[in-house]
Amino acid sequence: MAEQPVNSGNSGFNLRKLWPIGILVAGFVAFFAFGLNDYLNFDVLRENRESLLAWVDSNAVLAALTFMAAYAAVVAFSLPGGAVMTIAGGFLFGALLGASLVVVAATLGATLLFLAARTSLGDLLRAKAGPWLGKMEAGFQENALSYMLVLRLVPLFPFFVVNLVPAFLGVKTSTYVLATLFGIVPGTLVYATVGAGLGSIFDSGEAFSLSGILTPEIIAALIGLAILALVPVAYKKFKKRQG
């Protein structure tokens, strides 16, 4: 007898589609179960700085690829520690190279999460949400690139939330990747530049905290970039009213 697809209610949703998001959830749980979260902090970086820098110096390509793989995994599994790793990237590889590695790895990890969420939960959410989701999709898709850039530029919401929501609003993969790739550059450069100067803080023996990185001036600059990203949206609305 042929095996029948497993459906949820009358929606026709195939539960087998949940396996991508199931893998990500399992990875998230395993991360804490094995205590790996204890290694994503500045004390560990301070204690192992000499051996890490020596390894990076002796194995530049391998170190860069390993760092990118670890960073992509942190983003894909929605693990805490992205800011710490971005600063560590600047510390280990320098501001520009570190930021470049982070941008590529974060975009890869975010895209994997986006595709997993869209494959696993997109159809189910549409079946359960009703017509309001279609209206939201239409409004978002009309200016998807601009809205995505704003969400990436200004840290209004946690990074993993911005990774997931577009998957449910019908954003094209190309638009998502483009907005992520360019939208995270300014913030990444800020954190990587801080990381490049972290050695002097370690040498001084002072404590280091993330709280002082996003100063009012930096936040104002990011908001300014976000406003520029919204210019096409405002122009379209203006043209509609004129027409």
Tokens 């459906």 locate to 7
The reported pTM is 0.82
Which pLDDT score, from 0 to 100, does residue 123 have?
A: 63
- Low pLDDT (below 70) residues in the chain: 1-17, 122-136, 211-212, 235-236, 238-239, 242-243
- Among 79, 51, 45, smallest CA distance to 163 is for 79
Residue 119 CB-density burial (10 A; 0-12 exposed, 13-18 middle, 19+ buried): middle
φ/ψ (deg, to 5) at 81: 115, 5
Q: What is the pLDDT of residues 51-109, one digit of tens each?
A: 999 999 999 999 999 999 999 999 999 999 899 999 999 999 999 999 999 999 999 99
Which pLDDT score, from 0 to 100, does residue 111 have?
A: 95
CA–CA separation, 103 and 118 (whole Å): 22
Which pLDDT score, from 0 to 100, does residue 11 have?
A: 47
CA–CA separation, 168 and 187 (whole Å): 25
Neighbours of 22 (CB within 10 A): 13
